[in-house]
Amino acid sequence: MNATPQGPRENKWVPIVAWGAAIAMMALMTFLLVTRTTIVEAIAPAATPTAMPTMVIEEAPETAPLPYFDVDQQVDAITREIDTHTIIPNRMRTDVVEYTVDTGDAIFGIANKYNITPETVLWANYSQLNDNPDMISLGMELVIPPTDGVYYQWQEGDTIESVAAEFEADPQDILNFPGNKLDLTNPVIEPESYVMIPGGHREFRQWLVPTIWAANSGASQTIAGPGACTVNATALGTGAFVWPADNHFLSGNDYWSGHLGIDVATALTAPIYAADSGVVVYSGSIGGGYGIMIMIDHGNGYQTLYAHLNNTLAYCGQTVSRGQLIGNAGSTGNSTGPHLHFEVRYNGGFINPWYVLP
């Protein structure tokens, strides 16, 4: 029995396996290609005709590691409270405002509140104050100009040049001030309207209690009023003044061209003292807004005045010594609250009390 050869029969399966493997690989490649195209179309946006910019990604610099804090460990630090208020920048005010006088007000303090001079406030309210800061009263409506100068009511026949000359101001300042709202090409101002004269000024009409005559005072012999008397006695002061009140600070007007004294802070009925030795030449009520007043002649050219008192404890003609109790503080006359109006005069003229007070 002859044996059948096996080699050729076994080799016929090799091509079949090879073709099967090739077909499987082609199928796998087709599947992967189709799957990749589907994913790209789902994620990427539709192509646009414009080219996309090239993005350059820079590496972030290395930073030091954050410190580690133990939550149980107390750490000293500066804290700041939250401030929810908005800070509004300061801008120049251009409009006039009205102010109602309240308790404790004075022309000097009102002017400081609006960052203008007290003279500007007096000039703008002449019809009510007549250039006298002591004529202020509770509830009075005051006009507060926007800047230093004269708030002027325009009259028939006025020109910018004539008004500027009257108040010694610059015509260009009147034209260019925003609050005047003038057309620079045709600046027409209607009569009776108000115009701000920046930097302008005028003379004051002074309202003063006259100085009483005594040796070396160079003044009149008497002052008309219920507290007047004829003084024959002479007492020399020391020339070294003391404060006329226990407080050594102000509560109203300081010394300035429209207020020739200082307003010392006091409580109602607080003691008032003679600033130096001398003779009382007036003691009682008087006009001009001073209320109840005492004046002392010191016999060396100096005189001192104490106004708005509640009452007097020294009579006219009495000799007093430095630091002696002469009355009690009040709010008589034109006053918006208790205080002492204190004046110092030398040979009939006014001097700043700060020059002689310790």
Q: What is the pLDDT of residues 288-310, one digit of tens each?
A: 789 999 999 998 889 999 999 99
135-155 tens-digit pLDDT: 888 899 999 999 999 999 999
| 145 & 228 share domain | no
For residues 123 and 275, is the Cβ–Cβ distance under 8 A? Answer: no
Instruction: Provide the 8-state DSSP code for 326.
Output: E
Q: Which CATH number characterizes residue 112's domain?
A: 3.10.350.10
Phi, psi angle pair for 312, to nearest 5°: -110, 145
**pLDDT tier at 259 (50, 70, 90 boundaries)?**
confident
Query: Sign of the C-alpha dihedral, residues 28, 33, 38, 44?
Result: positive
In a domain, 2, yes or no: no
| 218 & 333 share domain | yes
CA proximity to 143, closest of 157, 155, 129: 129
In a domain, 268, yes or no: yes
| 287 & 357 share domain | yes
Q: In the chain, how many domains are there?
A: 2
| 184 & 220 share domain | no
In a domain, 318, yes or no: yes
CA proximity to 263, closest of 242, 247, 279, 240: 247
| 257 & 349 share domain | yes
In a domain, 246, yes or no: yes
| 217 & 336 share domain | yes
| 232 & 266 share domain | yes
In a domain, 284, yes or no: yes
In a domain, 60, yes or no: no
Max CA-CA distance within the chain? 183
For residues 263 and 330, is the Cβ–Cβ distance under 8 A? Answer: no
Torsion of CA 8, 14, 15, 19, to 10 degrees: 170
Q: What is the pTM of this model?
A: 0.54
Domain hosting 307: range is: 208-358
In a domain, 142, yes or no: yes
CA proximity to 111, closest of 136, 87, 91, 138: 136
- Flag the least confident range among 60-69, 315-324, 332-341: 60-69
- Cα separation, 108 vs 110, whole angstroms: 6
Q: Which amino acid is at 25?
A: M
> Which residues, 6 or more positions from 108, have their beta carbon under 8 angstroms from its beta carbon?
118, 133, 252, 253, 254, 256, 259, 263
Mean pLDDT, the chain, integer: 80
b/e code 335-346 from CB counts within 10 Å (16+ = b): bbbbbbbbbbbb
| 352 & 240 share domain | yes
Q: Provide the percentage of residues in the chain whose pLDDT is more than 90.
A: 43
CA proximity to 217, closest of 305, 293, 316: 305
Kindly calculate the radius of gyration of the chain based on its CA atoms and give it in whole angstroms.
46
pLDDT of 86 reads 43
| 258 & 349 share domain | yes
In a domain, 24, yes or no: no
pLDDT of 60 reads 53
Q: Which CATH number characterizes residue 334's domain?
A: 2.70.70.10
- Flag the least confident range among 41-55, 225-239, 274-288, 293-307: 41-55
Of 220 and 208, more confident:
208
